[in-house]
Amino acid sequence: MAQSRQLRLGAFMRPASIHTGAWRYPGAWPDANFNFPRLRRLAQTLERARFDAFFMADHLAVLNMPLEALKRSHTATSFEPFTLLSALAGATEHIGLVATASTTFDEAYHIARRFASLDHISGGRAGWNVVTTSNPDAALNFGLTDHVDHDERYRRAREFYDVVTGLWDSWADDAFIRDVESGIFFDPARMHVLDHKGEHLSVRGPLNIARPVQGWPVIVQAGSSEAGRQLAAETAEAVFTAPATLADGRRFYADVKGRMEKLGRDRDHMKILPACFVVVGDTLEEAKAKRARLDSLVHYDSAIASLSVALGHDASRFDPDGPLPPVPETNQSKSGRERAIQLAEREGLTVRQLAQRLGGYAGLAIVGTPASIADTMEEWLFTEGSDGFNIMFPYLPGGLDDFAEKVVPVLQDRGLFRRDYEGTTLRENLGLPRPANRFF
């Protein structure tokens, strides 16, 4: 197999583990999500393993789940992305730092400025995960009683992107001459006043910080709707997706890369990185046992609530230790019901096991040995299912250490993953071009 195609690996680190049972796993840190020295240690391990990026999802509210489930969740609270990633910038040298920031509930000038500042402080390692924020609870924290409509949010996001990138281009790369002799600090001819007046935003500029080291921090997105895919094709350089299967992944990959080409963009200038939950064992049985153990730590109250939502049917009266009984079809959640039934059949799960799987993490997962995990990743990479993955760890630090120490060396031995960082910036490591300044 050709060695030229390389995996890109992000680490999905908010929550530090997505699995609801993670904090209760034997040996795990219950406070991994909210303890700076521990997050610093994890970031440093990821950097030694040559990960491309530390990725921080974000929420602008306490997660909207029933209190009975919320009180059992280690994800209820978290650090704010810019403060955490800036602190990690000082404790790492190579790994990319991708912060989620909302185009609906923040100001373009603030966002442009913070990413530029993070990019300078980190020596060119910042990435912006552009989100439009679909959580209606967030609106209530920002003075709105109704959530902003989906299409409206995407139109604003597109304009917001134009303004932020325009502000990043406020200064030519060579604007700051700092000539001690003549006393000229910058060349005013190399400063641009944006003076944007659009449908949603009115922003004068210039930005009060020099152009970012990377020109622009790397643009990341995760939207999967029609509007989300189109915005990604127009603007994104990395996309985080959540396909359920390789076939799903390939459809998404072909669709979005096709849209890029129609827009005249080079398809290699976007890296598609599905979210993937990885459980490593020395044998397949050990890996499966780890996952079963982890799922068993999801409290039954939370678990059965998740199963009921998936089925569109109250599952609380089912025998927890029996097989899933026949469930009538309802108008709600057809695909969720179908997937749950298939999952129970495929793996022979009891009601309890099925509920705990859904209440833990039910998305794309690779559970196996380092070799079998590498096999699966290789298949995705070479059949255009993805350009790499955004890895979710089952518990911390063990699940992350297992990936770093056992899976990464196998990927490296197969020539699928770097042994050293290619460059000094996130953009260079991902193989993305540095954007030209549109004004100079």
Q: Which residues in the 186-215 window bind a second copy by CB under 8 A?
A: 186-188, 201-210
Tokens of 219: 């643009």
Task: Kindly report the backbone phi and psi dihedral angles of residue 157, in degrees, each rounded to the nearest multiple of 5, phi listed first.
Answer: -60, -40
Q: Is 152 among the residues that bind a second copy (CB under 8 A)?
A: no
Find the binding residues for a second copy in span 279-338 (CB under 8 A). Answer: 297, 299
Rounded to the nearest whole angstrom, what is the least distance from the CB of residue 42 to a second copy in the complex? 14
**Is 83 among the residues that bind a second copy (CB under 8 A)?**
yes
Beta bridge partners of 27: none
How many beta carbons lie within 10 A of that of residue 378, not counting itself? 16
Based on CB atoms, which residue is closest to a second copy, 302 or 376? 302
Q: What is the 3-state secondary structure (H, E, C) of 341-387?
A: HHHHHHHCCEHHHHHHHHHHCCCCEEEECHHHHHHHHHHHHHCCCCC
Please pick, from the candidates 8, 19, 50, 59, the single residue that binds a second copy as defined by CB under 8 A: 59
Q: How many CB atoms lie within 10 A of CB 31?
A: 12
Contact 283, 369 (CB under 8 A): yes
Report residue 84 CA to chain centroid gap.
15
Residue pair 18/78 in contact (Cβ under 8 Å)? The answer is no
Among 1, 93, 134, 141, binds a second copy (CB under 8 A): 141
What residues contact residue 181 under an 8 Å CB cut-off, 6+ apart?
none
Select 32 or 404, whichever has its Cβ closest to a second copy: 32
Summary count for the chain: helices (H), strands (E):
16, 11
Check residue 74 for interaction with a second copy (CB under 8 A). yes
Q: Which stretch binds a second copy (CB under 8 A): 108-116, 237-245, 246-254, 345-353?
A: 108-116
Q: With respect to a second copy, which residue has the nearer C-beta, 36 or 382?
A: 36
Which residue lies nearer to a second copy by CB, 190 or 427? 190
3-state secondary structure of 274: strand
Closest approach of a second copy to the CB of residue 68, in Å = 9
**Residue with Cβ nearer a second copy (137 or 329):** 137
Contact between 171 and a second copy by CB under 8 A: the answer reads: yes
Q: Which amino acid is at 104?
A: T
Residue 168 lies near a second copy (rule: CB under 8 A) = no
> Minimum Å distance from CB 136 to a second copy?
11
We find the least distance from the C-beta atom of residue 382 to a second copy, in angstroms, to be: 39
Q: Which stretch binds a second copy (CB under 8 A): 172-180, 239-247, 251-259, 425-433?
A: 172-180
CB-based contacts of 148-151 (< 8 A; 24+ apart in sequence): 148/104, 150/225, 150/227, 151/227
C-alpha separations of 173 from 138, 177, 209 in Å: 37, 10, 11
Shortest reach from residue 150's CB to a second copy, in Å: 21
Span 12-31, contacts to a second copy by CB under 8 A: 23-24, 30-31
**Residue 161 found at the interface with a second copy (CB under 8 A):** no
Which member of 6, 73, 308, 412 binds a second copy (CB under 8 A)? 73
Binding of a second copy at residue 91 (CB under 8 A)? yes
The closest of 243, 213, 228, 226 to 130, measured between CA atoms, is: 228
* For a second copy, the closer CB: 24 or 291: 24
How many CB atoms within 10 Å of residue 313? 17
Per the CB < 8 A criterion, the answer to whether 8 and 273 are in contact is: yes
What lies within 8 Å, CB to CB, of 133 at 6+ separation is 60, 102, 103, 104, 105, 153
**Stretch in the footprint of a second copy (CB under 8 A) among 138-146, 214-222, 254-262, 347-355:** 138-146
Tell me if 396 contacts a second copy by CB under 8 A: no
Q: Dihedral through CA 135, CA 140, CA 145, CA 148, nearest 10?
A: -30
Nearest approach, Cβ of residue 102 and a second copy (Å): 10
395 binds a second copy (CB under 8 A): no
In whole angstroms, how close is the CB of 275 to a second copy at the nearest point? 21
- 77 interacts with a second copy by CB under 8 A: yes
Q: Which is nearer to a second copy, 9 or 220 (CB)?
A: 220
Q: Which residues pair with 128 in a beta bridge?
A: 99, 219
